[in-house]
Amino acid sequence: MLVEIFPNYEALSNRAYEIVATELRRKPNCVLGFATGSTPLGLYQRLVEGYQRGELDFAKVVTFNLDEYVGLPPSHPQSYHYFMWENLFKHININPSNVHIPNGMVDDIEFHCEWYEEQIRRAGGIDLQILGIGPNGHLAFNEPGSSLGSRTRIKTLSRATIQANARFFGSLEAVPRYAITMGIGTIMEARKLLLLASGKAKARAVRAMLEGPISAMVPATIVQLHRFAHVLLDAEAASELEYSHHDGISEPFDVH
């Protein structure tokens, strides 16, 4: 696992752009896994700018998103479908038929989850999966206690996640209680993982993820087992790490 620590969020986002852009140039028809939330926004803004400058071409790219709230239509401002189109997809030359986001409005969620897994297989698997980490260590919506071998499915959101997301909905009551999420087993099948973490609020989870034992109670710890996991942190997110205290915050270091 390669971990890089940067002085601030801007530098982190710049590095994330370099990594994704390199993947796109290496394989123009690559399969990208996307995450939502505030952390990858800097990356997405840079991808849009890279496309506008003529540096990137998304015409052959296939995408899969990690998750979606159950009960929110794609047009809802807090749906992840809306988030991705507003912040990335509508600004680049991606083929809408190549975009895959779980549908939180389907009647048969179990069938939909099986279909989603099949679409990933048909696409040849995910080349690069972008990830964030929750303050409680969740990965996508795989909350503490999730099976480390889980597949795409419906999950009940934890109280901590509902509280963390309430700021987007205006109140605790408005936050959906369920989500469709890629499972940990699904995520781990991606050829490469790129996990981004920013801010002091993520510091404890980052420390558990990188320095703690692998545990279903901290789902993100599973990245320790991935054959190629690349973790980008800003200084605040890395502030509780023990291993990095003797390293400069701008230099990459390996954790095995």
pTM: 0.93
Q: Is 136 a catalytic residue?
A: yes
Residue indicated by tokens 């809802």: 76
- Catalytic annotation, pick one of 67, 117, 127, 240: 67
Would residue 118 show up in a list of annotated catalytic residues for this protein?
no
Whether 67 is a known active-site residue: answer yes
81 catalytic per annotation? no
Tokens of 173: 């009551």
Catalytic residue among 23, 68, 127, 143: 143
CA 84 to chain CA centroid, Å, is 12
Q: Left if phi > 0, otherwise alpha if psi is -120 to 50, otherwise beta: which for 249?
A: alpha
Q: What does the block give as tokens for 139?
A: 């990965």
> Domains in the chain, start-ordered, CATH in brackets?
2-226 (3.40.50.1360)
Tokens (6 digits) for 6: 């940067």
E strands within 92-164? 99-100, 128-131, 153-156
Dihedral pair phi/psi, residue 40, rounded to 5°: -80, 0
Give alpha helix (H) positions in 137-230: 159-169, 184-188, 203-211
pLDDT in single tens digits along all 256 residues of the chain: 999 999 999 999 999 999 999 999 999 999 999 999 999 999 999 999 999 999 999 999 999 999 999 999 999 999 999 999 999 999 999 999 999 999 999 999 999 999 999 999 999 999 999 999 999 999 999 999 999 999 999 999 999 889 988 988 999 999 999 999 999 999 999 999 999 999 999 999 999 999 999 999 999 999 999 999 999 999 999 999 997 644 444 444 443 3
State how far the Cα of 248 lies from the Cα of 53, in Å rounded to an integer.
Answer: 33
